[in-house]
Amino acid sequence: MKRMLQPFQFKNGVEVPNRLVLAPMTHYSSEPTGEVSEHELAYYRKRAQNVGLAITACAYVTEDGKGFPNAFGVNDDKFIPGLRQLAESLKAEGAKAILQIFHAGRMSPPELVPNEQPVSASAVAPVREGAVTPRALETSEVEAIIEAFGEATRRAIEAGFDGVEIHGANTYLIQQFFSPHSNRREDRFGGDLHGRLTFPREVIRRVKEAAADAEDFLVGYRFSPEEIEEPGITLDDTDVLLDMILAEGVDYIHASLWNFNTASMRDENVTERSIDRIAKRINGAIPLIGVGQLQRPAQVEDALEVVDLAALGRELIIDPEWLEKVKSDREDEIETELDLNKQAELAVPAPLWNAITTRAGWFPIKDQEVK
């Protein structure tokens, strides 16, 4: 049997039927008020039917943590009914449903947050054209956001999710506190490397506390191994981050990589793949999810020699029947390019479809006549 088709059991006893994961991907398709939409439910139902673990797009834990237009929230109890529908959609075919929770920090578009003022660890703008300088959070506000992650976890449990994934990757707030570029604080949430780990550590602890009485509930942590800013997070820094995560005892870690096979993006002399370094550091102590342009079954099988589970994002948007085709020996029928004539069939909401088709290079597009 292919490794990807084998069941996997987490250390807390939770078992998934296979080792494929629906990767968290932003889809811009919630209601403007932050509720889950019918379009989202159809989109997720289509893609969760074959995977073992299904991770949602990121849900903001506070009003000032929004990162995208038409994203869904988990910052108020009023969102629980819609989140319950989302969990049920993901779980309908046997997948474990994971709600990804986050705060965008300085990456928030100003027009989406109160007073059009993004916030972060320090008043340091991200390195991008037209970026707005964030307001540095007061210590009491940082503590309130930690509490908000706990409350988001409570709501996820009430909504019937099987776990939460703490989004500490992709330059959002948790990573901003860890980064020497964005964190210049002098209180207990800043300072040296270990001081900058305080916020992510306390978020993990608060989330675990909120989930303590939930049976068979997973707590995962997503991270980016490096960042391009200077000064920025290095692979050596991430070794220390991983040690902290292991010590805190989450149920899995999820390495956010654009390409599974990439090496260091800071040092061209480093040839070892980042994912191999990560796997060596944790040495099997915790399940590891890998992601990044794993298009073909052979690539996934190779990846599973290093990681415990493999996440597919764009691949399951292009072909939601990816795993079904593997199971039924139809691997040669797997689509690796998006068919622009199949939006309705693929149940891709219009805002996501528009983003895909207008952002050059994001998705491989089939060369064809559009009908």
Q: Catalytic residue numbers? A: 172
Segments in the chain forming alpha helices (H): 38-47, 80-91, 139-158, 173-178, 193-196, 198-210, 235-248, 274-282, 297-303, 314-318, 322-327, 343-346, 350-358
Among 368, 367, 260, smallest CA distance to 314 is for 260
In what helix (H) or strand (E) does residue 253 lie, and over which residues does it extend?
strand 252-255
Among 170, 183, 162, smallest CA distance to 103 is for 170
- DSSP 8-state assignment for residue 49: S
Q: How far is CA 277 from CA 30, 43, 240, 346, in A?
A: 37, 35, 13, 36
Among 75, 26, 31, 20, smallest CA distance to 53 is for 20
- DSSP 8-state assignment for residue 38: H
- Collapse the DSSP code of 249 into the 3-class scheme (helix H, G, I; strand E, B; otherwise coil) and give the result: coil
Q: How far apart are CA 24 and CA 314, in angstroms?
A: 10
What is the separation of C-alpha 129 from the centre of its chain, rounded to a whole number of angstroms?
25
